[in-house]
Amino acid sequence: MSDLQTQQQQPRVLIGVSGGIAAYKVCEVVSQLFKTGVEVQVILTRSAQEFITPLTFATLSRHQAYTDELFWQPIHSRPLHIHLGENADLLVIAPMTANTLAKLAWGMADNLLTNTVLASTCPVLLAPAMNTDMWEQVTVQRNWQQLLTDQRYHGLNTASGLLACDRVGAGRMAEPPEILAYIQSLLHTRGRRDLAGKQVLISTGGTREYLDPVRFIGNPSTGKMGLALAQAALHRGANVTLVHGPASWNPPLGVHAIPVISAAQMQQVMVDYFPKADVIVMSAAVADVKPKDYSPEKLPKRSLPQSLPLEPVADIVAHLAQLKQPHQRLIGFAAQTGDIVKPAWEKLQNKKLDVIVANPIDQPDSGFGSNNNQAIFLDAQGRRREIPLGSKLQMAHYLYDFIR
């Protein structure tokens, strides 16, 4: 993760793999971490080796993969589990089985992985995976909730779907992109939950203003910036509501996602959820105008108007600013070309925002559709911070740092 290297040189991630078929997904996690500049090492439990070999992870990570057979092999005259635990910036356990979960919940250490966890102080990210009946057992859920009371541990929710046992239900391990996003967040925050207990309300994506059932006025926004904002807030402990226009991605597990289409629909949902929100981020690319007349049936080509009468769409940000209470923080986005600061500053003042993100959409590999972004943050007190080109998730964290 090249943008993370500004914080520390080559972050060190230690991944523990326990015995489950989802172990194959961890190959992508290890491979992607290495490609983005992370030093990654892997520990396999004895049962994990029934599904995947140490050689596979050694090849992907460019480091020796560690197993219980190496437990008593010292490194630099120090016990292996002490060396590994003390040198990790982050520990990830994926997949985490019911057996490993029980050991961690009760502080047991009978193999290299669990000993390394107890010998470390860094944050630990847990990605459970198991059969639905196993996951829903009272004892398993009790262990899960007990473990998460420890501030070191961060849990990825399981997904529902077709499992390897042919059961359809909960217990499916989070997919590699979701694991990688959480890893990036924890390397940035070092496990800090500074949004715990906060309600974060985010709008994202483009709206569509229809002329007839198949034609609309829209824009190229994909909603990826709002998706990153939701992930970052969730990873920092917030309760997140994400109001999004049409999107090709799935919302993160644990986020309350509400799909909308038009600006009017988005405004209604935002107003409904606004009173309980502590932080409101309007990253959506909301339409400025809409066709004055709507046809419920598709218009024949010959019937399309030569000129299209338009009318303005309600200004959602300005409306929310009128409802804002002193404890709430309202953040807006200004997608601009050319000089991005002056129009953003004017928007900040005119709409009485607390913070605005001036976003250059005419720069390479940033703005609409890109996985990366760059911006200048401005606040009502005159503070300014320039954010260089990096991932949208990293920019989301910088924004929460800025308003913290």
Indicate which residue of 58, 148, 165, 269 is catalytic.
Answer: 165
Question: What's phi and psi for 321, nearest 5 deg?
Answer: -60, -35
Which residue is it, tokens 């198949």? 214
Q: Are strands 12-17 and 310-312 parallel, antiparallel or unpaired?
A: unpaired
For the record, the structure tokens of 359 come out as 């976003």
**Contact between 241 and 259 (Cβ < 8 Å):** no
**CA torsion sign, 57 to 63 to 64 to 68?**
negative
Separation between Cα atoms, residue 279 and residue 111, nearest integer Å: 44
For the record, the structure tokens of 230 come out as 């939701």
Separation between Cα atoms, residue 59 and residue 30, nearest integer Å: 10
For the record, the structure tokens of 218 come out as 């829209």
Nearest Cα residue to 85 out of 29, 123, 47, 59 = 123
Contacts of residue 343, defined as CB under 8 A and 6 or more positions apart, other chains included, come to 334, 336, 358
Separation between Cα atoms, residue 117 and residue 84, nearest integer Å: 9
Active site residue 27: no
Residues carrying an active site annotation: 165
